[in-house]
Structure 1
Amino acid sequence: MENIQTSRRDFIKASGLATFGLALGISGFTRDAALKKITPAILRLEINPFIIIDTAGNITLVNPRPDMGQGSTQAVPSLLAEELEVSLEKVLIVQSDGMGKYGSQTSGGSSSVRELWMPIRKAGAAAREMLTSAAAKKWNVQVSECTAEDGKILHKATGKSLTYGELADDASKLEIPKDPKLKEAKDFKIIGKYNKRLDVPERVNGKAVYGIDVDIEGMVYASILHSPAIHGKVVSIDDSEAKKIKGVLQIIKTERTMPHRSSEAVAVVATNWWAALKGKKALRVQWDNAGYEKSLTTASYFAQTYEAAQKEGINFEEKGDFTAKYAAAKDKLQAQYETPFLAHAPIEPENAVVHVKEDGSVEIWAPVQGPDWALRDVCGYLKIKPEQVKINVTLLGGAFGRKAYHDFLLEACHISRELKKPVKVIWTREDDITQGPYRPGMLSHLQGFVEDGKITGYHHHAIGESIVSQVFKGLKDDEADPWLSEEISTGNNKYHFSSASKVSWTHVKTDIPVVWWRSVYASNFGWGQECFIDELAHLAKKDPLKARLEILPDDRFKKVLETLAEKANWDEKLPEGTGKGIAVFKSFGSISACCITVSKSGQGVKIDKVISVIDCGHYVNPDNVKAQTEGNIVMGITAAIKDGITFTNGVCDQSNYHQYNVLRLNETPAMEVYIVDSGAVPGGVGEPGLPPVAPALGNAVFAATGKRLRKLPFNITNLA
């Protein structure tokens, strides 16, 4: 088996799926191949950082946001193409390389379209105006007489036309307009319209290049043995058996560098991946776990969060004197809602190819969420300058936040620096799940009261580890975490509590590595917020929908909930043992609401249907909005009813998909997704559909069974 080199792409091709080609480039590999076809006589002119037009008429659009499945390879260039008046079928799309001229290049926080909506459109509009001005000058006519259409500038009065390629040289010499005129929404041809994802065929037929597909001449493979207790140190290495394996070249002590600390590890370097993996399994390493058997446990962590719930937190906001009014209230409630640590577990595990060369320069091929952040981290780690680094960003086979955390990339940098060879590091699934980083487990301590049948008081005390603190070291001891506090603030959720409201925070630290996970803190705190609002509605003897509408003065929130009520037929009479639950949450600039219907089944319930409504403002492609929301529904249900991550005696209890389950196709309920066209500024799409899912399910379970669930995950088949 040592000689078997079958890759994912070879397997797909051998399966008979490599039938259709695609002229749309995705990665740096496609870019380089395309540029080699251009003869030296042809000028490649950068109209602005995002648009390159050569004198033969070839158009290249630069996508500054890596694609991990969310569709940025089409969504972001669509903004350019709309204003440039070209169709995506006729252009080459390449990925940015981390250099500063492209601005922010990290895919995360559902930010691609909402942050680039104006800058990228302006880039396209500016290029269009420059090309139009160049044509008008050639023809000696007024700019107003010229129009852009399908990669050409037209002068309809005379029938003359010039391609962008013919105008590129002259246009590139003009000053870039600072305030170009943008198209009105009514004139959009691409934005807001259904368009086929042109990148899909390559992903099906095996042509698409993911990080795990990269094969560089002279490359060696490294499989890394990490400490089971994550932060353990190497005491001794017995590599005698590993060295006997054919293909094993070298065994070296290496390091895993995380934002909050570094750990030691051992790398087996081999001529092929199978040999490296076998060598890793043959290693015998003694670890010093530095007492983590006692301190690194989820049980002790959550015990600390529940202790903190009995004390005052640090105030983020308070309107009215909540403590006094809660003490005096007649009809009041308090409860704790818990969410577990979660792994990202993308289908493509962490991997990177790095070549640290003799001259100190570095070339990288990797599935990273942000080449700009990767460039920063690599330069900081190797102590080199940005101009010494070339980053080739591949497609990402899933990420959900994990691949913006560059420990795996820095491992490859360390090993390549030692060997002065291109090294391909691949984490196993076990590495991925047992080593983290994870979504932090969190606790919501909630209090509230009702007066005259209306919810008028509410306090959300958020408790747990802080990403701002652990990853960025940016939280003072007397400061409430601004990320999560803003997420649950009344300014974000728009609930108006007429008597008093409060948001507070307590920091409970852990050495379990944490980082953002799909929808970040919204997935933690939407669970508590929206289930507790239901509890208060029942205390007020109010229908949960009506109770929300009473305290939501915001028209956009109301429209989303009213649309949900209509599409889910909220007021219908349900048979015995069937229940519906709703939830609404705003995150990343978008408002999403969910209604789930469940019915009793044995000792548990069955999820019958999920209806989701999203108002994300202006969007690029409705099909992609629906696809991302469906993905959020699946991931949201998984987070509610499947396994969380737990640590016992310093070691993660889960190691692979058999212990860290995901929702299967046969378990997936019927889903419907509806978009509210508000025309507001663009919000996120990749994450906002997730936070309302778990609380909608929890509220549905209560409606069907009378059982109130406050801890995730729960066993949906056995609620006894």
Structure 2
Amino acid sequence: MENIHGSRRDFMKVAGLTSVGLALGISGFAKDASVKKIATAVLRLEINPFIIIATDGSITLVNPRPDMGQGSTQAVPSLLAEELGVELEKILIIQSDGQGKYGSQTSGGSSSVRELWMPIRKAGAAAREMLTTTAAKRWEVQASECVAEDGKILHKASGRSLTFGELAEDASKLEIPKEPKLKSPKDFKIIGKFNKRLDVPDRVTGKAVYGIDVDIPGMVYASILHSPGIHGKVLSIDDAETKKVKGVLKVMKTERTMPHRTSDAVAVIATDWWAALKGKKALNVKWDNAQYDQTVNTAKYFEATYEAAKKDGINFEEKGDFSSKYIASKEKIEANYETPFLAHAPIEPENAIVHVKDDGSVEIWAPVQGPDWALRDVCGYLKLKPEQVKINVTLLGGAFGRKAYHDFLLEACHISKELKKPVKVIWTREDDITQGPYRPGMLSHMQGFVENGKITGYHHHAIGESIAGQVFKQLNENEADPWLSGELATENNKYQFSAASKVSWTHVKTDIPVVWWRSVYASNFGWGQECFIDELAHLAKKDPLKARLAILSDDRFKKVLETLAEKANWEEKLPEGTGKGLAVFSSFGSISACCITVSKKDKGIKIDKVVSVLDCGYYVNPDNVKAQTEGNIVMGITAAIKDGITFTNGVCDQTNFHQYNVLRLKETPVMEIYIIDSGSNPGGVGEPGLPPVAPALGNAVFAATGMRIRKLPFDINNIA
């Protein structure tokens, strides 16, 4: 399987080789991004905008979901290869370019396999039926007597065979079946089976091309000085020292456009990146940050969330009269659970190349999560039509939600429009961490009660900034954030509280820019939900596992927890100073449970082992599921015990990895991952394993030490 990044616009370069012939040109990257054209005279069979089968037998898939490490360049072609009956290596991949004919093209919300499970399989099955029908007609046999194997249609009774390429021209004249027969899961040879990641060698050896690798002939580099206060305004620019730096071409005021604000910035343009960066460091810019000193302040933000916890929120969901029953209850507790702002910190920082040309057209090379959203934002910003913009999507060196927020891309657009040259913008790690956007800090105000040894009443009051409100401006003042349905609704968590339950919301605004972070709100609210369920279990004097099973209404959830209990040996007797904690959470169509074992060590604790169980329905490759879950565990532990993002007087207190630490290899515990084959519809994999991690850790700390932690992050080396 080969990865070629480009646009299907390049397919249609030459017509008329024959009456139905086309030249197929697939544009690709070298490190210098000189576009290579591979021209082959072909006739083709095209099944919707995704698949092209050529008369030379080649099979090309337009992958509509960029790969940011989650494995879409393996998972998506696997769906096609399974239904076509070809080996995975036979599929050539190019990346979609944002044009509407490819549908949704954003990698996010753990949606790639979930949303493409049927469309790609149906396209593959339709192509198989059309090729089979064509072959059967030539041989004058029944189509049911023919099978697709290894890029051929076989008539086993006679031993005859025809390649897909030999059948493509005639097959292309048939009507595309609307409801082709899909393979039965029992016949899967690729889906659900271990297959090597064919893209790994290129990534390990450095052959794979990420956005930061791309060079365009004639381009210049831009290093951008952002305001320390994020939203500051430029008062004056002293560039005398900057202009002394060899290679510096220009210093210009530019802008950073975010969904909720546009802020000033200053760009240093140079012939190479080092000169641009050195020139930026020599700049002397005076900023006006006064307007945001108090609103960009995490201490004041959280003060406001705790004040909001003292008042009623806007009801999102209520079953029974929770308030009156809570007041009347004899065994009840109330607690606040806090999660911090977090940076995404992908290993490849934000970067983009944009060339705004003299004729008004634009070409872009960038590691963006969604070329469709990028196209929308660029067209809106530059006031262009989609056909005037060509987007080349590269591989992404991590993203976690950050690279679907296109401030860095629009910066490059602004500078290139001024210069009329291709411009490469690269953010530094300091830019990435100090400028955001971030996972919003959140507060979960929890109330609950028990009766006769069972949890019967529960209220989760979610408090904080709204991504739907700040980024999308889709939240009214009197409306609960609609995204709570995917995290906190009882329809999602399947907990049934016999007396009363309630989910409410209070919007506490901030000028700190926010956006999705891996698992979105689930990473915030899973902490409150699952730690508090543990508190209620202890109030009821019940084992935390049994207490959960008693209020769960869904057999899939119960199976996940029961499997976790078995694999983690939940019932074993532990030595003093050792504890186990568990949590379960549903997000993005999957159910994940986690059990963590910890032990006391000096004044702190040591994380000894993590066991994770995931029911994601049908999946493509178990190895990738496990890899994603391991990544979720590492990221979940990091979010629990390492640094959060804080702002003081409008300025971010963290600047790089020495202050915004991540879990190191030597700190990583033993991990065991188990997948449940439930046969349910495909769920997400990239994110659902994260939400239970922090609460499982918090519950384990309580089991080992008797200390209940309610605020993240906490110092794992100083618990006592």
Quick check: 2:254–2:266 contact (8 Å CA) kept in 1? yes
* TM superposition shift of 1:113: 0.5
Match 1:32 to one of 27, 36, 40 = 27
* TM superposition shift of 1:215: 0.6
Letter in 1 for 2:533: I
Aligned partner of 2:32 in structure 1 is: none
Aligned partner of 1:191 in structure 2 is: 191
Aligned partner of 1:247 in structure 2 is: 247
Aligned partner of 2:499 in structure 1 is: 499
Aligned partner of 1:3 in structure 2 is: none
Query: Could you give the per-residue CA deviations for residues 67-124 of structure 1, whole angstroms, max 9, x where no partner exists?
Result: 0101010001111111111111122111111111111110000000111111111111
Q: Distance in 2 between matches of 1:450 and 1:162?
A: 69
Aligned partner of 1:465 in structure 2 is: 465
Whether 2:114 is the aligned partner of 1:114: answer: yes
Secondary structure at the aligned position of 1:277 is classed as: helix
**Cα distance change of structure 1 residues 155 and 42 upon mapping to structure 2, 3 Å threshold:** same
Alignment of 1:501-520 (within 5 A): 501-520=501-520
Aligned partner of 1:7 in structure 2 is: none
Aligned partner of 1:431 in structure 2 is: 431
Q: Distance in 2 between matches of 1:460 and 1:587?
A: 17
* TM superposition shift of 1:39: 4.2
* TM superposition shift of 1:169: 1.6
Alignment of 1:132-143 (within 5 A): 132-143=132-143
Letter in 2 for 1:24: E
Aligned partner of 1:127 in structure 2 is: 127
**Cα distance change of structure 1 residues 211 and 452 upon mapping to structure 2, 3 Å threshold:** same
Quick check: 1:485–1:503 contact (8 Å CA) kept in 2? no
Q: Distance in 1 between matches of 2:317 and 2:51?
A: 45
Aligned partner of 1:256 in structure 2 is: 256
Bigger shift: residues 43-52 or 154-163: 43-52
* TM superposition shift of 1:156: 2.0
Aligned partner of 2:84 in structure 1 is: 84
Q: Distance in 2 between matches of 1:46 and 1:63?
A: 14
Q: Distance in 2 between matches of 1:336 and 1:39?
A: 63
* TM superposition shift of 1:27: 2.4
Query: Could you give the per-residue CA deviations for residues 378-421 of structure 1, whole angstroms, max 9, x where no partner exists?
Result: 11111111111111110000000000000000101111111111
Alignment of 1:661-676 (within 5 A): 661-676=661-676
User: How many percent identity over aligned positions?
Assistant: 84
Bigger shift: residues 58-67 or 469-478: 58-67
**Cα distance change of structure 1 residues 222 and 36 upon mapping to structure 2, 3 Å threshold:** closer
Aligned CA RMSD, in angstroms, stands at 1.3
* TM superposition shift of 1:513: 0.2
Secondary structure at the aligned position of 2:254 is classed as: strand
Secondary structure at the aligned position of 2:305 is classed as: helix
Quick check: 2:374–2:406 contact (8 Å CA) kept in 1? yes
Alignment of 1:570-719 (within 5 A): 570-719=570-719
Secondary structure at the aligned position of 1:32 is classed as: coil
Aligned partner of 1:5 in structure 2 is: none
Quick check: 1:110–1:588 contact (8 Å CA) kept in 2? yes
* TM superposition shift of 1:173: 2.2
Aligned partner of 1:206 in structure 2 is: 206
Secondary structure at the aligned position of 1:291 is classed as: helix
- Could you tell me the TM-score, scaled by structure 2's length? 0.96
Query: Could you give the per-residue CA deviations for residues 544-578 of structure 1, whole angstroms, max 9, x where no partner exists?
Result: 00100100121000000000000010010000000
Secondary structure at the aligned position of 1:645 is classed as: coil
Quick check: 2:365–2:393 contact (8 Å CA) kept in 1? yes
Quick check: 1:234–1:286 contact (8 Å CA) kept in 2? yes
Aligned partner of 1:15 in structure 2 is: none
Query: Could you give the per-residue CA deviations for residues 667-714 of structure 1, whole angstroms, max 9, x where no partner exists?
Result: 000000001110000000000000000000000000000000000000
Quick check: 1:485–1:504 contact (8 Å CA) kept in 2? no
* TM superposition shift of 1:46: 2.5
Q: Distance in 2 between matches of 1:101 and 1:156?
A: 38
Q: Distance in 2 between matches of 1:186 and 1:615?
A: 19
* TM superposition shift of 1:33: 4.7
Quick check: 1:592–1:613 contact (8 Å CA) kept in 2? yes
Q: Distance in 2 between matches of 1:31 and 1:166?
A: 21
Whether 2:385 is the aligned partner of 1:385: answer: yes
Q: Distance in 2 between matches of 1:607 and 1:438?
A: 27
Quick check: 2:254–2:411 contact (8 Å CA) kept in 1? yes
Alignment of 1:331-350 (within 5 A): 331-350=331-350
Quick check: 1:702–1:708 contact (8 Å CA) kept in 2? yes
Q: Distance in 1 between matches of 2:4 and 2:434?
A: 32
Q: Distance in 2 between matches of 1:26 and 1:641?
A: 40
Q: Distance in 2 between matches of 1:311 and 1:489?
A: 21
Letter in 1 for 2:669: P
Quick check: 2:485–2:492 contact (8 Å CA) kept in 1? no
Q: Distance in 2 between matches of 1:445 and 1:301?
A: 15
Q: Distance in 2 between matches of 1:287 and 1:44?
A: 59
* TM superposition shift of 1:26: 4.3
* TM superposition shift of 1:42: 2.8
Aligned partner of 2:21 in structure 1 is: none
Alignment of 1:294-443 (within 5 A): 294-443=294-443
Letter in 2 for 1:157: A
Letter in 1 for 2:187: D
Quick check: 1:47–1:168 contact (8 Å CA) kept in 2? no
Query: Could you give the per-residue CA deviations for residues 292-340 of structure 1, whole angstroms, max 9, x where no partner exists?
Result: 2222100000000000000000001100100000000000000000000
Quick check: 1:79–1:121 contact (8 Å CA) kept in 2? yes
* TM superposition shift of 1:147: 1.4
Aligned partner of 1:9 in structure 2 is: none
Aligned partner of 1:231 in structure 2 is: 231
Quick check: 2:604–2:719 contact (8 Å CA) kept in 1? yes
Aligned partner of 1:168 in structure 2 is: 168
Letter in 2 for 1:616: C
**Cα distance change of structure 1 residues 306 and 37 upon mapping to structure 2, 3 Å threshold:** closer
Quick check: 2:44–2:172 contact (8 Å CA) kept in 1? no
Secondary structure at the aligned position of 1:189 is classed as: coil
**Number of residues of Structure 1 aligned to a counterpart in Structure 2:** 698
Aligned partner of 2:10 in structure 1 is: none
Letter in 2 for 1:502: K
Bigger shift: residues 491-500 or 170-179: 170-179
Q: Distance in 1 between matches of 2:624 and 2:591?
A: 17
Secondary structure at the aligned position of 2:456 is classed as: strand
Quick check: 1:488–1:503 contact (8 Å CA) kept in 2? yes
Quick check: 1:26–1:208 contact (8 Å CA) kept in 2? no
Query: Could you give the per-residue CA deviations for residues 179-238 of structure 1, whole angstroms, max 9, x where no partner exists?
Result: 111000000010000000001000001110000000111111000000000001111111
Q: Distance in 2 between matches of 1:54 and 1:312?
A: 63
Q: Distance in 1 between matches of 2:99 and 2:304?
A: 43
Query: Could you give the per-residue CA deviations for residues 242-297 of structure 1, whole angstroms, max 9, x where no partner exists?
Result: 11111011111111111111111010011000000001111111111142222210
